[in-house]
């Protein structure tokens, strides 16, 4: 084993753990609120937002997966569950025999329109209200830069 491991300094360890902790707590609370108040999961919410903003409320399957950065398998399973609950329907694609559209239903629109304002309010109350504009810019800058590096990491 390589004995020259560069372990994290206490500051690094603290920052890293705090960051993970922040996300877990925040996302957990937001998800539970969304579920309790609006009866949709965060994943449902993401799909419905994407569809409701699309022309005719419809999107190709893998296009949706690409936008949300989900694996196609996850998308397939999740759409199956959403179909079962009546939030979306599948529609065959005339141009491509393999493909399919996912289309938001009226029930889906009602869900998202009821959930969105509450969700936005929660994001403000639980997060944005406690962060200064300068801090938010720093956070965004860090996030963009690191994600860019990760993209480069995964590409090859």
Partner DNA sequence: CGGAAAGTGTAGACACGTCAACGAACCGGC
Partner DNA sequence: GCCGGTTCGTTGACGTGTCTACACTTTCCG
Classified as helix, coil or strand, 58 is strand
* DSSP sequence for 129-143: GGS-HHHHHHHHHHH
Q: Which is nearer to a second copy, 89 or 127 (CB)?
A: 127
Could you tell me the smallest distance in angstroms from the CB atom of residue 3 to a second copy? 9
Could you tell me the smallest distance in angstroms from the CB atom of residue 15 to a second copy? 4
- Subset of residues 10 to 29 that bind DNA, contact rule: CB under 7 A: 28
- The answer to whether residues 64 and 102 touch, using CB atoms and an 8 Å cutoff, is yes
- The answer to whether residues 38 and 115 touch, using CB atoms and an 8 Å cutoff, is yes
- The answer to whether residues 91 and 100 touch, using CB atoms and an 8 Å cutoff, is yes
| Positions that interact with DNA (CB under 7 A) | 28, 32, 35, 41-44, 60-63, 70-81, 90, 93, 95-100
| Positions that interact with a second copy (CB under 8 A) | 1-2, 5-8, 11-12, 14-16, 18-27, 29, 69, 113-114, 116-117, 120-121, 123-124, 126-128, 130-131, 133, 135-147, 149-150, 153-154
């Amino acid at each position: 084993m390589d004995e020259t491991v560069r372990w994290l300094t206490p500051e690094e360890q603290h920052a890293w753990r705090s960051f993970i902790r922040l996300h877990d707590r925040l996302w957990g609370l937001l998800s539970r609120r969304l579920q309790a108040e609006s009866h949709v999961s965060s994943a449902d919410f993401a799909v419905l937002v994407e569809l409701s903003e699309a022309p005719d409320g419809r999107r190709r399957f893998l296009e949706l997966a690409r936008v949300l950065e989900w694996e196609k398998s996850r998308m397939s399973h999740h759409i199956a569950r959403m179909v079962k609950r009546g939030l979306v329907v599948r529609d065959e694609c005339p141009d491509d025999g393999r493909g399919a559209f996912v289309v938001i239903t009226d029930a889906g629109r009602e869900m998202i329109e009821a959930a969105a304002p509450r969700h936005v309010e929660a994001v403000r109350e639980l997060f944005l209200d406690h962060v200064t504009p300068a801090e938010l810019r720093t956070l965004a800058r860090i996030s963009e830069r690191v994600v860019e590096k990760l993209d480069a990491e995964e590409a090859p």
